[in-house]
Structure 1
Amino acid sequence: MWRFAGDDVAAARARIEAAFDAGITLFDTADIYGPDNGEPFGAAEALLGRVLAETPALRDRMVLATKGGIRMGVPYDSGPTALAGAIDDSLARLGTDRVELYQIHRPDLLTHPQEVARTLDDARQAGKIVAIGVSNHTPAQAAALAHFLPVPLVSHQPEFSALHLAPLFDGIVDQAMERDMALLAWSPLGGGRLARAEDARSQAVAALLDAKAADAGVDRAAAAYSWIMVHPARPIPIVGTQNPQRIRAAADAYKPRWTRTEWYAVLQASMGESLP
């Protein structure tokens, strides 16, 4: 819901209903979503809150996730006062008494993970959040936070796509499998680079995705999502499109069937070199 913006509540509701039509139930937002769209801090959460206020039944159908810890001009603050306030403010904007998943958006290097853990667990025990995850954390940062929590971290949210392979090699995917954490892949289309395919590397990857898409009768985006999803960590691509038709088409990600040879061909095209 990074680009979930505007004042048209009916149009916003249509996007949510398109997601439900596609079998999508996880909705991932954040308090910082807004300024990148030329809107105020918290705007995406507030818009979702307006949708849920008009159609409360939608709330019961979704797994609602939000994130906090980024502050305009700071840039990061997960200190006890700031983080507790961010959680309460998010709930107020969303018009709900709890979220199923609360994630630290980016690590605050000036707050001890024990303090972060204490604030998050206080909110959990108060019923404000159900589960705790991290976004844009290294495996070591996630492990440090997990050490001080009385409950497991349930999710990692890294950037991951056929053009951004870092989680496969930096330990994030391995930690997610080791600890049975959900892997929520943001920017699974490479920030639009897979759609535009303007450079040689993107074009090489796109050509292989297009071949698989044609074979499965889907579009390139669905092939890109499916390439991520075939990994045994069972990554969940965070679909960012705001077009209801393309949201519905995301369900086509289940159609392609990748052979090992095909999957590794995409990986090597993205790497620009052959594996040993």
Structure 2
Amino acid sequence: MERIKIKDDLDFSRIIHGYWRLMEWKLSSNELINLIEEAYDLGITTVDHADIYGNFCCEEKFGEALSLKKGLREKLQIVTKCGIKFPSENRPENKSHCYDTSKEHIIKSAERSLKNFNTDYLDALLIHRVDALLNPEEVAEAFHKLKKEGKVRYFGVSNFLPSQFNMLNSYLDNELITNQVEISPLCLNAFEDGTLDLMLEKRVKPMAWSPLAGGKLFNSLDERALRVKKALNKIKEEVGARDIDEVAYAWLLMHPSKIMPIVGSGKIERIKSAVQATEILLTRDQWFEIYVASRGIDIP
């Protein structure tokens, strides 16, 4: 598995395992630790979480499993996110659905995540969504405090546009290490709104959530999805892939920004498909065939 250098003392696995749907997998702690270790054996050491996942339960579930295997946590890179609030029986203090990037909330969320994971440090903490009331000075103060206390090694963002990324970055002692955005053959925004251009300029490696468009590549009857699926199936035969998901991952992996796809499946076979995609090399013609199929019109 290729390793992506994030900082001199931090690298991520090229494929990242995401735990957004962990509670839906209905795994016991022993079954979960087996899955984590199976993914680790494939070279996947980086895991993606958020405080809100699973109605605020996924982090704790993951932490319970980690506690069963001494020494495993140190072999992993734990990425989690904060900044979204919504009413829940698991967070009775939340009065409404809103974004909160205040210094108090960021610190409180990070410290709760540490407790959930049964760890004393997070490898990366990301701001989950752009907050219209985001005060960059407060965010910078929160990051500085968490870094100084050794609770969070590095910081990043998710779903930030280039101008928002640059704005926050300008206030920080330590630059943001990633931007986690939606990228798939059915979501081209990051290619066209300057997000990936900025990642290349800053030498920052992006993470891609929903790289298979939430399953739409497989089951959607939308005209655009059908066009893309046809192109993926054609190229699947050309490269000898087992399924179109391997081609979709390979398409993301080809981009020079070193996109790191997040695989959000609890099935080891689907995880293996993503890993297998790292061995598939598309031609430029094949890459643009998928891109044009998604656009619905030829490139200029």
The question of 1:166 aligning with 2:186 is answered no
Cα-to-partner distance string for 1:82-135 (whole Å, 9 max, x where unaligned):
111001001110111111111000122213112111101210111111111100
Alpha-carbon distance, 1:230 to partner: 0.1
Q: 2:252 aligned to 225, 228, 234, which one? A: 228
Q: Which amino acid aligns with 2:263?
A: V
Report the counterpart of residue 21 of structure 2 in structure 1.
3
Task: Check whether the contact 2:85–2:97 (CA below 8 A) recurs between aligned residues.
Answer: yes
Q: CA deviation at 1:7?
A: 5.6
- What is the alpha-carbon distance in structure 1 between the residues aligned to residue 244 and residue 192 of structure 2? 25
Structure 2 residue 267 is matched with structure 1 residue 247: no
Matches within 5 A, 1:99-248: 99-214=122-237, 215-248=239-272
2:56 equivalent to 1:33: no
Aligned-pair CA distance for 1:205: 0.9
* Letter of the structure 2 residue corresponding to residue 119 of structure 1: A
3-state SS of 2:85 partner: coil
Q: Does 2:87 correspond to 1:87?
A: no
Task: Give the share of equivalent positions with the same residue, in percent.
Answer: 34
- The residue number in structure 1 matching 2:97 is 74
Q: As a proportion of its length, which structure holds more helix?
A: 1
Q: Deviations over 1:15-56 (max 9, x none)?
A: 212211221111000101012xxxxx2x11001100111113
Q: Corresponding residue for 2:71?
A: 57
Write the distance in 2 (CA, Å) between the matches of 1:50 and 1:198. 40
Do the aligned residues in 2 keep the contact of 1:4 with 1:12 (CA within 8 Å)? no
Within the candidate set 59, 64, 87, 1:45 is matched to 59
- Tell me, yes or no, if the aligned pair for 1:222 and 1:252 is still in contact at 8 Å: yes
Distance in 1, matches of 2:163 and 2:51, equals 25
The alpha carbon displacement at 1:200 in A equals 2.1
Aligned twin of 1:263: 287
- What count of residue pairs does the alignment treat as equivalent? 270
Q: Classify 1:212/1:275 alpha carbon distance in 2 versus 1 (closer, same or farther; 3 Å).
A: same
Q: Which residue does the alignment assign to 1:16?
A: 36
Query: 1:160 touches 1:185 (CA, 8 Å); kept in 2?
Result: yes
TM-score, normalised on structure 1?
A: 0.94
Distance 2:37 2:27 in 1: 17
Q: Distance in 1 between matches of 2:214 and 2:269?
A: 19
Distance 2:116 2:67 in 1: 11
Residue type at the aligned position of 1:228: L
1:38 aligned partner? none
User: Matched residues in 2 for 1:14 and 1:195: separation?
Assistant: 27
Residue 190 of structure 1, CA deviation? 0.5
3-state DSSP class of the match of 1:192?
helix
Deviation at 1:223, TM superposition (A): 1.0
Gaps of 5+ in 1: 36-40
Give the Cα separation in 2 of the matches to 1:272 and 1:187. Answer: 21
Task: After TM superposition, give the deviation of residue 212 of structure 1 in Å.
Answer: 2.4
Shift of 1:245: 2.0
1:18/1:247 contact within 8 Å kept: no
CA RMSD of aligned residues (A): 1.2
4+ runs deviating over 3 angstroms: none
1:108 and 1:161 map into 2 onto residues whose CA distance is: 24
Counterpart residue type for residue 75 of structure 2: R
Q: Flag the structure with higher strand content.
A: 2
Which deviates further from its counterpart, 103-112 or 187-196?
A: 103-112
Structure 2 unmatched ranges of 5 or more = 1-18, 87-95
Contact 2:50/2:80 (<8 A) preserved = yes
